[in-house]
Amino acid sequence: MQREEIRFVQARYHQLNLNAEQAEKVLQFENMKDSQSQTHFFSAWEEFDFEYSVFQSLLNEDQMVQYQQRVGEIREMHIERLIEQDNSNEIWSNQMREQVDYVKNELIPSILSDIPRRATLSLGRDPSKIQYLKANYETFLHDRRKQILVDHFRHNKTYAPIQLQSAMLGHYASCLLPNYAAFESWADEPTRAVLGFVRGTLSRRNSEVTEFYLGKLSESKAFFQQIKEKYNRHFDGWHTWAPDPIPEEDENRNWLMSMLLLDRNAYGFEYPG
């Protein structure tokens, strides 16, 4: 190992007065921590714990006192950043809540109340396949909720409640109004095969039914655009990210598939308080 690397480590941790052997072990730790991986990475908290476990094993008592003071300050700064970032999420949370309230109280009731059109949309399709897809969509919703919770607490602990609330509102929106594109991406091969079969049976023979559902798509897009413009006023001069638009034919197909997956009980999920 190069002496220059050792000296560089000693300089970076000068307050600990590392000897050459300790500096070498710290360098080994840093190389391991920073090793490249396309699939695995540390959260900030995991990196803190990993570092602490290494330093605890190689520092003497006096050095450990200095280290604990240093790492305590770094953790506090990280917590302050999380809280500051979370406070900035208040506007996004309000926007998401307004969108969910619209979907729950206006859009979905206006769709579910029209039983004849819903029946016609499903006419001629294998009911068992629709039920199979809905059962798998419910599994997707549970899996997605678990992922949201695990990722959130892994990275934020309890310091970003507004961000968590926004994420759970977004998840509930997918319970009310099925996210077909996300479901299709998540699904395993057998489920994708059934999705492909059902998608292939979507027919334009009953133009009245198709126009009704696509009209609801247009209504929802108009509302969401209004909400976007309303809340984007709070971010003058900021660049707000938006997904690339998809071809109209794909958007219409996804919407009709979402209509087939609708569940009037939101798949048993409740409005996140």
- Count of structural domains, the chain: 2
* Residues 104 and 236 both lie in one domain: yes
Give pLDDT, residue 185: 97
Q: How many CB atoms lie within 10 A of CB 34?
A: 9
Do the beta carbons of residue 206 and residue 268 sit within 8 Å?
no
Sorting pLDDT into bands at 50, 70 and 90, what band is 234?
A: low
Does residue 273 lie in a domain region? no
* Residues 227 and 102 both lie in one domain: yes
* Residues 175 and 251 both lie in one domain: yes
Boundary (domain end) residue, out of 68, 84, 100: 84
35 DSSP assignment: -
Residue 241 has pLDDT above 80, yes or no: no
* Residues 26 and 158 both lie in one domain: no
Which residue range(s) make up the domain with 20?
3-84
Do the beta carbons of residue 89 and residue 221 sit within 8 Å?
no
Instruction: Classify 19 as helix, strand or coil.
Output: coil
Boundary (domain end) residue, out of 84, 113, 132: 84
Does residue 147 lie in a domain region? yes
* Residues 182 and 263 both lie in one domain: yes
Sorting pLDDT into bands at 50, 70 and 90, what band is 244?
A: low
Sorting pLDDT into bands at 50, 70 and 90, what band is 246?
A: confident
pLDDT in tens, 154-175: 999 999 999 999 999 999 999 9
Residue 233 has pLDDT above 80, yes or no: no
Give pLDDT, residue 44: 96
* Residues 189 and 207 both lie in one domain: yes
* Residues 70 and 161 both lie in one domain: no
Sorting pLDDT into bands at 50, 70 and 90, what band is 112?
A: confident
Give pLDDT, residue 119: 57
* Residues 190 and 109 both lie in one domain: yes
* Residues 128 and 142 both lie in one domain: yes
Mean pLDDT of the chain: 89
Tell me which of 131 and 211 has the higher pLDDT.
Answer: 131
* Residues 71 and 114 both lie in one domain: no
* Residues 44 and 73 both lie in one domain: yes
pLDDT in tens, 117-155: 655 565 556 789 999 999 999 999 999 999 999 999 999
Residue 64 has pLDDT above 60, yes or no: yes
Does residue 27 lie in a domain region? yes
Model confidence, pTM: 0.87
What angle, 0 to 180 degrees and rounded to 10, lies between the N-to-C axes of helices 61-87 and 161-176?
A: 50
* Residues 59 and 100 both lie in one domain: no
